[in-house]
Amino acid sequence: MEKQAKLIKRSDSEKTDLIYWKSKSASEKLSAVQILREQHIRLFNLQQEYNEARKGLRRFYQIVEQS
């Protein structure tokens, strides 16, 4: 197998990224954000701080059903 590399201008890369994310649904975007959050928590060993923050958050949220 022959190794290949392709140089891409930053402006072209940003346009490609924008087109890619515009094509995704809101749920796919949220899923990607959640995956990145979980990776960040594991990478910086923040599980304990994350759990503590969630405990505080639980006191404030309320689920409302829409009719």
Convert the pLDDT of each residue in 25-54 to its tens digit.
999 999 999 999 999 999 999 999 888 877
How far is Cα 40 from Cα 17, in angstroms, rounded to an integer? 21
What average pLDDT score do residues 9-17 get? Answer: 90
Q: Specify the pTM.
A: 0.61
Give phi and psi for 61, each to the nearest 5. -90, 155
More confident of the two residues 57 and 5: 5
The answer to whether 50 touches 41, Cβ cutoff 8 Å, is yes
